Amino acid sequence: MGRLFPPSDGRLLSRKGGVPVIPTGERETLAQLKGDEAVLEREVQAARREAAAVLERAHREAEAIAAEELLQAEREVQALRAKAAEETDRALADAQAAVLAQAEELRRRAARNHERAAARAIEVVTGGTA
């Protein structure tokens, strides 16, 4: 009866212990592939470091822009508050002037009414027409 070998996956095995046999041309290709893999790994690491640095710079720039915009917004708020305060002061001054004008008109009317009331009182007291 003949010897049965395990199913093959296409690799050549040595007769001693089943260690794979790699032809010389394939060894050179494997060595080249391993070298290429190492180079690619270094390039990937460098690209990751560069991407991290770009991301960090973009983050710092975004923070700087946000800080500048915040300062600008605060300046605008201060300007709006100052304008509102001026308008409030102007409105208050206008209201005070209107109150003073109304008070003066009331004083004049009261003086006229006082004169008429006094004349009427004298007329009532003296029993005659004034």
Q: What does the alpha-carbon distance between residue 37 and residue 39 come to, in Å, rounded to a whole number? A: 5
- Residue 113 domain-assigned? yes
Q: What is the pLDDT of residue 18?
A: 61
- Residue 78 domain-assigned? yes
Helix (H) or strand (E) holding 12: strand 12-13
Taking only the tens place, the pLDDT of each residue in 15-74 is 556 666 666 778 888 888 889 999 999 999 999 999 999 999 999 999 999 999 999 999
Residue 113: domain span = 24-126
| Domain tally, the chain | 1
- Residue 19 domain-assigned? no
- Residue 17 domain-assigned? no
DSSP 70-110: HHHHHHHHHHHHHHHHHHHHHHHHHHHHHHHHHHHHHHHHH
Which of 25-39, 71-85, 87-101 has the weakest average pLDDT? 25-39
Q: What is the pLDDT of residue 8?
A: 55
State the number of CA atoms in the 13 A half-sphere of 123 facing the CB: 8
Q: What does the alpha-carbon distance between residue 21 and residue 27 come to, in Å, rounded to a whole number? A: 10
End-to-end C-alpha distance for the chain, whole angstroms: 162
